Amino acid sequence: MRVKGGMGPPRFDKEVPVQYMLLDYVREEGWTALTKVEQVTWLGAYKAYLEAMAEAGVLKHSLGLHPTASATTLRTVEGDLQVLDGPYADSKEQLGGFHLIEAPDLDAAIAWAARCPTVRHGVVEVRPVMNVDLATLIQQIQGSDT
Amino acid sequence: MTQREDEAHRALETAARQSYGKLIACLAAGTRDIALAEDALSEAFAAALAAWTDQGCPARPEGWLLTVARRKMIDQYRGRRRDELAAEQWRILVEDAATETAEADLPDRRLALMFACAHPAIEASVRAPLMLQTVVGLDAKQIASGFLMSPSAMGKRLVRAKEKIRRAAIPFRIPERTELPARLDAVLEAIYAAFTEGWSDPAGTDAQRRGLTEEALFLARVAVDLLPKEPEALGLLALLLHLEARRRARRDGQGDYVPFADQDTALWDAPMIAEAEAVLQRAGAMGAPGRYQLEAALQSAHVHRRLRGGAPWAEVLRLYDALFAITGSPVVAINRAMALAELEGPTRALEALSEVAADARLVEYQPYWAVRADLLARAGERAEARHAYEVAIGLQRDPAVRRFLQGRLSSLQEDS
């Protein structure tokens, strides 16, 4: 077993990396209220953040979403499909983008999430991602039933 | 029971007592799958009873249990976890984490397990139950009774917390120096919470709740053994030892509540008090005071006062001031008011108490009303004192303390 140094009991090096989704929740009206200079500063901060994650090899994917004014929500109400304008949750902060990262454990994921500029003006949610893709998972569940 | 069976039983009991947390920590360190480690270990215990009765006890019971549990844990993968990890990954993680079996002693990773249980991503109120289950080995039913909760509700909360550790990959690790103080604080707080749940023991007779204080003491000792240079871990152990030492004196023969000032000091556990003092001295020598050391020092001052006479109230007041500066807790302010009453009289103490009375939390805080009632009675404010006693009685869930307060209230009425 390979172990890392440091204090206390050994820490396992042979870890299966976990993927985490860092979900950025932001107040949309906040962006338009900023001055041009402030917007440039924030964009610079996000760019630096993405570069740092890419440099460290943790970033798998990162995407921003158009504002919720462009969102459409679908659900079934009493058997009928309902298509509505607007986002699902009517909350102060809205999902604005996400970063898919790979980290050895939650502490490492939290360390990356804490560096996200969104933490300074919004909320970042850290969610572990399932280790297998959905299609494989469904196949396995179907297989175990028979 | 044959002699062999008897021996197997005893060896297993010893192993369960001394090794449970170590075995869980080793089994789950790689996969972080505490639930499967628990299942595998309980199967290993069941297998051990039969095998040890049949073939005699092994030279190293811990190693035997770990080897068998590790095999069971690898078997469990097929039925339960194959949707999450590849079989090979699972095997490596289980085996690597428990590889040292062949060597002399099982590595003690219980502290890392405790840090996982008290991780900031785990809800604060479930941290103490989680430690009692994974490090001590209590089942959900025992813990639920200690925390006045239904076993099924407690079971669900424990399952959810263990799932969070596994799915979010909360590491079994001792935090780095820079984050250690805050993270250790969470561990100590959970141990203290486990102790106070057992301590409040409403009936004074509930063996399971009484057991909880002993288990919390066990956890505090583990923390001290594994972090011998952390003064606050020592401070907490000293505090718990002081409180536990007076357990028998807290109730009289009829099960009635006995306030500290009236306790029969012959019922105090003298060796335990001596140990508390020694531990506190060790902590003090490190020159980094903190909340638990101060609380232990206060217990020590009160105990000295009862045992040797003399009233170091000024010293007690200083300790409360220091404690209040750290915690800002209204509970500390209430206790401080009692010490102030001894030094400067009840009227001054009531003034000090009114400064914290604005805190909305105190309206439902029973000790606030009990202290207020006592101070008012001593200041001769009978009508107000009666009202405060009534509120204090209404808020008290421990029948023995309620009877005590009712006695105070009726003596107040007889005098007037």
A132 interface with B at CB cutoff 8 Å: yes
Residue B257 in any domain: the answer is no
Tokens linked to B36: 């499967």
Residue A146 in any domain: the answer is no
B192 within 8 A of B180, measured Cβ to Cβ: no
Contacts of B170 in chain A (CB under 8 A): 105-107
From A116-120, B107-111, B371-375, B405-409, the region with the lowest mean pLDDT = B107-111
A145 interface with B at CB cutoff 8 Å: no
Q: State the Cα–Cα distance between residues B141 and B155, nearest whole angstrom.
A: 8
Q: For chain B, how many structural domains are there in total? A: 4
Q: For chain A, how many structural domains are there in total? A: 1
Q: Nearest chain B residue to A6 by CA: give it.
A: B176
A-contacting residues in B 71-130 (Cβ below 8 Å): 82-85, 89, 92-93, 96-97, 99, 107-109, 111-112, 119, 121
| Segment holding A61, helix H or strand E | strand A59-64
Residue A10 in any domain: the answer is no
| DSSP state letter for B136 | I
Tokens linked to B279: 């531990």
| 3-state secondary structure labels for all residues of B291-324 | HHHHHHHHHHHHHHHHHHCCCCHHHHHHHHHHHH
With a cut of 60, say whether residue B104 has pLDDT above it: no
Domain of residue A101 covers 16-141
Tokens linked to B281: 């001295």
Specify whether B307 is located in the same domain as B338.
Answer: no
Specify whether B281 is located in the same domain as B317.
Answer: yes
Specify whether B57 is located in the same domain as B114.
Answer: no
Specify whether B35 is located in the same domain as B49.
Answer: yes
With a cut of 90, say whether residue B76 has pLDDT above it: no
Tell me: the pLDDT tens digits for B234-275? Answer: 999 999 999 999 988 988 888 888 888 889 999 999 999 999
CA angle (B66, B67, B73) in 5-degree steps: 80
Residue B21 in any domain: the answer is yes
Q: Average of pLDDT values for B55-71?
A: 90
Specify whether B416 is located in the same domain as B340.
Answer: yes
Contacts of A15 in chain B (CB under 8 A): 30
Residue B43 in any domain: the answer is yes
Question: Is there a contact between B171 and A11 if contact means CB atoms under 8 Å apart?
Answer: yes
Specify whether B187 is located in the same domain as B113.
Answer: yes
Specify whether B205 is located in the same domain as B288.
Answer: no
Facing residues of A83 across strands? A74
Residue B234 in any domain: the answer is no
B182 interface with A at CB cutoff 8 Å: no
The region that residue A2 occupies, defined by phi over 0 for left and psi between -120 and 50 for alpha, beta otherwise, is: beta
What's the mean per-residue pLDDT of chain A? 87
Residue B10 in any domain: the answer is yes
Residue A5 in any domain: the answer is no
Specify whether B221 is located in the same domain as B123.
Answer: yes
Tell me: the pLDDT tens digits for A81-138? Answer: 999 999 998 788 999 999 999 999 999 999 999 999 999 999 999 999 988 778 877 8
Q: State the Cα–Cα distance between residues B231 and B297, nearest whole angstrom.
A: 13
Domain of residue B127 covers 109-226
Assign residue A83 the CATH number of its domain. 3.30.70.1060
Nearest neighbour of B92 by CB, restricted to A14, A126, A140 = A14
Residue A126 in any domain: the answer is yes
Buried b (16+ CB within 10 A) or exposed e, B78-92: eeebeebbeeebbbb
Nearest neighbour of A1 by CB, restricted to B96, B112, B121 = B96
B176 interface with A at CB cutoff 8 Å: yes
Q: State the Cα–Cα distance between residues B407 and B386, nearest whole angstrom.
A: 12
Residue that the structure tokens 């760019």 belong to: A47
Distance from CA of B108 to the nearest CA of A (A): 8
Residue B233 in any domain: the answer is no
What's the mean per-residue pLDDT of chain B? 88
Q: Which of B76, B83, B92, B229 to probe by mutation at the A interface, max A CB count within 10 Å?
A: B83
Helix axes B366-378, B382-395, angle to 10 degrees: 160
B190 within 8 A of B133, measured Cβ to Cβ: no
Facing residues of A63 across strands? A98
Nearest neighbour of B121 by CB, restricted to A104, A106, A130 = A106
Inter-chain contacts counted by CB atoms under 8 A, chains A and B:
66
Q: State the Cα–Cα distance between residues B16 and B197, nearest whole angstrom.
A: 23
Facing residues of A26 across strands? A94
Tokens linked to B376: 């008012």
Which pLDDT does position A10 carry in this prediction?
39
Domain boundary among B286, B301, B328: B328
Which pLDDT does position A2 carry in this prediction?
35
Residue A134 in any domain: the answer is yes
Question: Is there a contact between A8 and B174 if contact means CB atoms under 8 Å apart?
Answer: yes
Assign residue B339 the CATH number of its domain. 1.25.40
Q: Which of A4, A12, A140 to probe by mutation at the B interface, max B CB count within 10 Å?
A: A12
Percent of chain B residues past pLDDT 70, beyond the cut: 93
| DSSP state letter for B247 | G
Q: State the Cα–Cα distance between residues A118 and A26, nearest whole angstrom.
A: 7
The region that residue B309 occupies, defined by phi over 0 for left and psi between -120 and 50 for alpha, beta otherwise, is: left
Name the percent of chain A in helix, strand, coil, to the closest 5.
Answer: 40, 30, 30
Domain boundary among B284, B304, B328: B328
Facing residues of A25 across strands? A95, A123
B148 within 8 A of B173, measured Cβ to Cβ: no
Radius of gyration of chain A (CA): 20
Q: State the Cα–Cα distance between residues B368 and B391, nearest whole angstrom.
A: 10
Q: State the Cα–Cα distance between residues A109 and B41, nearest whole angstrom.
A: 31
Counts of helices then strands in chain A (DSSP H, E):
5, 8
| DSSP state letter for B257 | B
Nearest neighbour of B85 by CB, restricted to A16, A106, A141 = A16
A-contacting residues in B 13-52 (Cβ below 8 Å): 29-30
Nearest neighbour of B29 by CB, restricted to A12, A128, A137 = A12
Q: State the Cα–Cα distance between residues B98 and B67, nearest whole angstrom.
A: 8
Residue A75 in any domain: the answer is yes
Nearest neighbour of B83 by CB, restricted to A7, A15, A140 = A140
Domain boundary among B104, B136, B158: B104
A4 interface with B at CB cutoff 8 Å: no
Residue A20 in any domain: the answer is yes
Tell me: the pLDDT tens digits for B329-347? Answer: 888 999 999 999 999 999 9
Distance from CA of A47 to the nearest CA of B (A): 27
Residue B253 in any domain: the answer is no
Distance from CA of A52 to the nearest CA of B (A): 22
A24 phi, psi to nearest 5 deg: -95, 120
pTM: 0.84
CA B327 to chain centre: 19
Question: Is there a contact between B121 and A110 if contact means CB atoms under 8 Å apart?
Answer: yes
B233 phi, psi to nearest 5 deg: -65, -40
With a cut of 90, say whether residue B152 has pLDDT above it: yes
Q: Which of A105, A140, A145 to probe by mutation at the B interface, max B CB count within 10 Å?
A: A105
Bridge-based pairing of strands A94-103 and A18-26 is antiparallel
Q: State the Cα–Cα distance between residues B223 and B230, nearest whole angstrom.
A: 9
Coil, strand or helix at A110? helix
Q: Average of pLDDT values for B305-320?
A: 87
Nearest neighbour of B174 by CB, restricted to A7, A12, A105 = A7
Tokens linked to B206: 């509930």
Q: How far is CA B96 from CA A46, B63, B90, B128, B333, in A?
A: 39, 15, 10, 28, 51
Q: Average of pLDDT values for B88-107?
A: 68
Residue B245 in any domain: the answer is no
Question: Is there a contact between A14 and B93 if contact means CB atoms under 8 Å apart?
Answer: yes
Specify whether B299 is located in the same domain as B407.
Answer: no
